[in-house]
Amino acid sequence: MANGLDDVVAAETVLSDVDGLGGHLTIRGHSLTELAGRWDYAQVVRLLLDGFFDDLPGDAELAEGIGEARSDVFARLQPLLPSLAALDVYSGMRAGMAFLPDGETLTDALRLIAAPAVLTPALLTLKRGGRPAAPDSRADHAADMLRMLNGKAAPPDLAKALDTYLVTVCDHGLNASTFATRVVASTQSGLTSCVLAGLGALKGPLHGGAPGPVIEMLDAIAAHGDAAGWLRDEIEHGDRIMGFGHRIYRVRDPRADVLKAVVRKLGGEGETGQRLALAETVEQTALDVLRVAKPSRSLQTNVEFYTALVLEAAGFPSQTFSNVFAAGRVAGWIAHAREQQTTGRLIRPQSRYVGPVPDLVA
């Protein structure tokens, strides 16, 4: 039996390939480094959805469609926002998305892609006592998300940083949330049901909930003053060092390098530059400490470590990092759902019963 389904191939896909030994991520024939910072999110959405919708338009038209979908989602869900804001921001986002039509059309898909970018800023604004800003359907997706979040137009470099992040996390093999999405898709359920399954899996701290604690770790180390001592104490107490180690990668996560470069571009002498300097010191110290403490395991920097710095610089509170992760990954979930529905079959693995056996009466 494969514990945790390690090494079990559960799907054939054209969408992405994770090379854990070589440290490479391929998305529909393109390396991550070819896409991140060069293709915008709408272009990558089109790349992922190509072949799964007959009416998929070109890049410019699709970007307009995502913008129109943001306005549509806001209009549909605006009356519910005060009630959703009573929940934590992730639960409120997920609950709001459950009210979207559970269809199979491109329009349904674009609403789901737009929803996290609309609901996250709206719910944060309400929690802060403000009035949510309506989307600008003509704006770029990442830039509009930041405008709704911060109440003003985002600097171009910050909008570019967030856009690059969304591209970087758009798809990543058969991870837990994508597998959950494909399981639901295999029942021929609608796209909203599939995405809600992905959202449920993404919330866990071993998956999309991981970046937030990186900020807590950096703050704790800054206050403590001794990175090596703090990290050793955590390991001795059996705690995980967030931002290090990955289920698939046995070398450095290629997404970490992409996002580190993003933070460098945003850095300088200000707060982001100071945070980066601290993070680089902690990163190297953590790698050294982990090498000694766990010599049998290859625990390298993963995507969550520099994700935390990018999203903090963009103005997102750490408790909403999973929301922004979802805003990028939702396109991948939808592509996997459509691929499963069109080429796969009902996912129904077997289990092995290991419980007590009843006495059988002759």
Q: Which residues are catalytic?
A: 246, 304
Which residues, at least 6 apart from 357, have a Cβ–Cβ distance to it below 8 Å? none
C-alpha 77/C-alpha 117 separation (Å) is 13
Start-to-end CA distance of the chain, whole Å, equals 33
What is the token pair recorded at 137?
């359907």
C-alpha 86/C-alpha 95 separation (Å) is 11
C-alpha torsion sign, points 284, 285, 289, 290 = negative
C-alpha 16/C-alpha 48 separation (Å) is 9
